[in-house]
Amino acid sequence: MELKIALLPGDGIGPEIIAQAVGVLNAVEAKYGHKFTYTKALVGACAIDATGNPYPDETHQVCLDSDVVLFGAIGDPKYDNNPTSKVRPEQGLLAMRKKLGLFANLRPIQLFDSLADRSPLKREVVEGADFVCVRELTSGMYFGEPQGRDEANTYAVDTCKYTREEIERIVRLAFDLAGKRRGHLTVVDKANVLETSRLWREVAQGIAPEYPEIKLDYMFVDNAAMQIIRQPTYFDVVVTENMFGDILTDEASVISGSLGMLPSASVGSQVALFEPIHGSYPQAAGKNIANPMATILSAAMLLEHVGLTDEGTAVRKAVDAALAAGVVTEDLAQKGEKCYSTSEVGEYIAQQI
């Protein structure tokens, strides 16, 4: 298969982890006789530094001209503690999601067997955990207007707004996904307080009769935050709004042992994008210590998305082999255990393929 891949390494550890994912994709290409071509483009702080715009038009065009996008991470501390800076790297990520129409972010939470004893949670709690969080990605508080301050700078406002249409398309996608899995869908909201959440429930209830085989239930987000670590095996597919999904998936990453393990796929109307759920981890940038597995597993999701299922499985198995052999970065290494560098882990996984 010929595949055009847009490569957006971004900031911080982004370039290092993307390099390892590309090494793994090269191994897949060689083994299975595919032809992958890459076009690199800027997004985030590096794009601001080079062009003044965190998501330049050239980058958008590169994404549109590609079959899929592989993205690293975004963010730079030099913008974080400067609340007055008008342009921020994260705006690049949000603009990219919005302009590419990526309304659904799929974040699979899975325990790798060999990590059961490395999770900060007890083995008996996390064993068997396997669910997908479907996070709405292009609306809600991240995008609602008004957003900003009054002129006298006495208040700030963010707005959570959802249209029926926005809720419907994501809830349908979640129902469909549940149908391919264990048939259980949980809508996570705050319907006891928020009007948008009540609309989410109303829309989900309206769609439910079309999916009689799916067991549908609802959970308040505060309760969900607790149940995710108390009884993660309860969940199969969780669907939720943008901000709740952002928060719950960082929390859920603990189940897998490390935030450095969780991949994601963002899909919508046009090109699909694959990215680790973690951020740019600036403290580790350039040190060759960050865990490349979330990005490598994102590459596995990318392969599966274009129909290369055997190849995706091969990548997952190779990651498993690295975990089983203890070839892991410092975030996963246990006390006294040897840990490996980003590139050592990436190269080991590529070799397995």
List residues binding Mg ion (CB under 5 A): 246
Catalytic residue among 189, 190, 331, 348: 190
Q: Can 190 be counted among the known catalytic residues? A: yes
Q: Can 142 be counted among the known catalytic residues? A: yes
Residue 245 CB, nearest approach to Mg ion (Å): 9
Task: List all residues 6 or more positions away from 302 whose beta carbon is below 8 Å from its beta carbon.
Answer: 5, 68, 70, 265, 272, 274
- CA neighbours closer than 13 Å in the CB half-sphere of residue 52: 0
Among 74, 261, 284, 293, binds ligand IPM (CB under 6 A): 74
Smallest CA-to-CA distance from 167 within 130, 124, 145, 196 is with 196
Residue 107 CB, nearest approach to Mg ion (Å): 9
Residue with Cβ nearer ligand IPM (273 or 318): 273
Please state, in angstroms and rounded to a whole number, the distance separating the CA atoms of residues 202 and 55: 36
Q: Footprint of ligand IPM on residues 275-294 (CB under 6 A)?
A: 277, 279
Query: Is residue 44 a contact point for ligand IPM (CB under 6 A)?
Result: no
Query: Is residue 75 a contact point for ligand IPM (CB under 6 A)?
Result: yes
Query: Is residue 304 a contact point for ligand IPM (CB under 6 A)?
Result: no
Q: Is 240 left (phi over 0), alpha (psi -120 to 50) or beta?
A: beta
Compute the radius of gyration of the chain from its Cα atoms. 20
Catalytic residue among 79, 142, 281, 340: 142
x/- mask, ligand IPM, residues 225-254, rule CB under 6 A, reads ---------------------x--------
Q: Can 320 be counted among the known catalytic residues? A: no
- Torsion, CA 201, CA 207, CA 211, CA 212, rounded to 10: 70
Q: Indicate the pairing of strand 156-159 with strand 144-149.
A: antiparallel
Residue with Cβ nearer ligand IPM (93 or 171): 93
Q: Can 250 be counted among the known catalytic residues? A: yes
Q: Can 218 be counted among the known catalytic residues? A: no
Query: Is residue 90 a contact point for ligand IPM (CB under 6 A)?
Result: yes
Residue 190 CB, nearest approach to ligand IPM (Å): 18
Residue whose Cβ sits closest to ligand IPM: 90
**Amino acid residing at 174:** A
Q: Rounded to the nearest 10 degrees, what angle do helices 293-305 and 309-324 cross at?
A: 160
Task: List all residues 6 or more positions away from 56 whose beta carbon is below 8 Å from its beta carbon.
Answer: 41, 42, 47
Catalytic residue among 65, 150, 222, 310: 222
Query: Which residues on adjacent β-strands are paired with residue 2?
Result: 35
Residue with Cβ nearer Mg ion (29 or 246): 246
Q: Which residues bind ligand IPM (CB under 6 A)?
A: 74-75, 90, 93, 246, 277, 279
Catalytic residues: 142, 190, 222, 246, 250
